[in-house]
Amino acid sequence: MTPLLITWVLTVLAAVVVVLTRVRLSREDGDAAGRIAIPKAVLHLHTIAGVPALVVWVAFLLTGTTVLGVVGLLLWWVTVVAGLLVLARWLPAKGRHSSGPATDSWGEGPGLSVLAHVGLLVGTVIWTVFLALDKIP
């Protein structure tokens, strides 16, 4: 696979992560799955950085303008940090009144969230290396 093809595949997967995180955690009918509640500001940051990251990154891939690539990567890194904070909702809660993790219809345990957010981290590292080595576009 070429670096450009890998980049496009990872871009599509990153878009899925941003959208599904927003859909999963913006439920109004109850708490999201996890052990601890995360502030809504973290979810908003994930979306507010993730959507422009996707738009700017795709513009970079289509035009080859390096400035767009750098700005897109910076936005992806903000999204990654917010995503890892979202993932922190699965950390064990301690204390006398703590309970087991909340569940939802998306699955049991943190597997889906770990796959998504660690995957976004790995993808962003790959994009950073590709851009630094001038492998894309």
pLDDT tens digits along 98-116: 555 555 555 556 778 888 8
> Which range marks the domain in which residue 67 is found?
40-91+127-137
Give the span between the Cα atoms of 52 and 58, in whole angstroms: 10
- Residue 100: inside a domain, yes or no? no
Instruction: Report the pLDDT value the prediction gives residue 86, as an integer from 0 to 100.
Output: 82
Buried b (16+ CB within 10 A) or exposed e, 37-50: ebeeebbebbbebb
> pLDDT at residue 67 above 90?
yes
pLDDT classification of 43: cutoffs 50, 70, 90: confident
Instruction: Report the pLDDT value the prediction gives residue 121, as an integer from 0 to 100.
Output: 96
Give the span between the Cα atoms of 29 and 137, in whole angstroms: 44
Domain count, the chain: 1
Q: Output the six-digit token pair for 3.
A: 């670096």
- Residue 67: inside a domain, yes or no? yes
